[in-house]
Amino acid sequence: MSDGPQRFVVEPVESVGGALSVPGDKSISHRAAMLAAVARGTSRIRGFLHGEDCLATLEACRALGASIDDNGQDGLEIEGRGLDGLQPPAHALDLGNSGTALRLLAGLLATQPFDVELTGDESLCSRPMARITDPLAAMGARIHSSDGRAPLVIRGGARLNGIEYTLPVASAQVKSALLLAGLSAAGRTTVRSPAPTRDHTERMLLGMGVPVAQDDAGVVSIDGPAEPHAFELSVPGDFSSAAFFVVAACLAANDGMTIRNVGVNPTRTGLLTILREMGGEIELANLRTVGTEPVADLHVRQSRLHGIEVPPALVPLTIDEFPILFIAAAGASGQTVVRGAEELRYKESDRLAVMAEALNALGATVRELSDGLVIHGGRLAGGRVSSHGDHRVAMALAVAALLAEDAIEILDTAQVATSFPGFTAEAARAGIPIASPA
């Protein structure tokens, strides 16, 4: 359980602005730590996210024998053990609130010669895991769970073979788990996705000397066994963290706002496309490539947003940004319809139900669908709501103060530190003061 503040109180705010930065990308940080741990040689990583989820991944890598020096702003140095050099941990690996860490480590550890247990907090242990245990078992992994949920127990000594697998639902976590298992499997591992998903794992593997075959139809393959080489990496700012300020600026940045050094991988930026279709004035400046990832500065101005029907093809590219997109929809004229987003029910909370509950409590008109929401835009009244322990919901509801007539009190906010340490300080810099009363 995070030791962050248990509640936020946010007074109504009329305008925001300034120049901001956000912490390092969470998805990239997880992958960098894991792959550095099994690489040969010493990897150097700058900009690693020191949020609780990624720190749990670092601790797991240490427990597996990787030598990690954390030099603060000078970055991490991780001396890898190689694919066959990890050591049995002395205890179960506790991944806290991080589904990414647990699912990807399940793939990476499926071929180790020792037994290992992967667990986490109450929220993580309530999320479905059959989506990774079933295909890993098909590769030959001996992996067990209770009712398809964590804790997961992986029995050592399994010999994996590459398989061809079609994802039932687009999921970067499942795809990455299978690719990481494929590093130690015999033969080719091929994963087909019904829609595009974030490709940080593929980019990182290529940068570490592992050949990865990809095509435009969502098919990714690697030939195992293949051991990654040590690397140097600068982690860009997390687009999912920047998203809160992008929406805040669309709602209230009269003089504009700049968010610097943000990763703009096209498999992550569906929110930008949606906001632009809603009328958002967003520009990418200083576009460049850092390592294997595209990076830019985002310039955003207050915009006249209008409701739209979100194109289904953009849903997988926006999956972590929907809580803040629902706030944008609440501030837009007309009606916004989101469908095809049933995956949101299996995040840190049921984000469809939780966001519908919170927005309706604040005075919006929201109808919950089985796979999405219908939101009618307008002003919010303020009031008390709960994030249900979901960090992205808590931060999104803080931005809702830009639409509110009265203060918004948000309960159960401690988990914000899992992905965005320093969120309240950065929000204050943007003009959104957040009090955290005891």
Strand order in the sheet with 18-21: 18-21, 257-263, 293-301, 281-290
Structure tokens at 193: 């996705």
Active site annotation includes 320: yes
> Of the listed 53, 199, 223, 320, which one is catalytic?
320
Residue 67 near residue 79 (C-beta atoms within 8 A): yes
Which residues, including other chains, have CB under 8 Å from residue 262's CB and lie 6 or more apart?
22, 236, 237, 238, 239, 242, 295, 296, 297, 298
Query: CA 301, CA 290: separation in Å to the nearest integer?
Result: 26
Cα 38 to Cα 58: distance, rounded to the nearest angstrom? 13
CA angle (87, 91, 97) in 5-degree steps? 105
Output the 3-class SS for the chain. CCCCCCEEEECCCCCCCEEEECCECHHHHHHHHHHHHHCECEEEEECCCCCHHHHHHHHHHHHCCCEEEECHHHCEEEECCCCCCCCCCCCCEECCCCHHHHHHHHHHHCCCCCCEEEECCCCHHHCECHHHHHHHHHHCCEEEEECCEEEEEEECCCCCECCEEECCCCCHHHHHHHHHHHCCCEEEEEEECCCCCCCHHHHHHHHCCCCCEECCCCEEEEEECCCCECCEEECCECHHHHHHHHHHHHHHCCCCEEEEEEECCCCCCHHHHHHHHCCCEEEEEEEEEECCEEEEEEEEECCCCECCECCHHHCHHHCCCHHHHHHHHHCCECEEEECCCHHHHHCCCCHHHHHHHHHHHCCCEEEECCCCEEEECCCECCEEEECCCCHHHHHHHHHHHHHECCCEEEECCHHHHHCCCCHHHHHHHHCCCEECCC
Residues annotated as catalytic (active site), given as ranges: 320
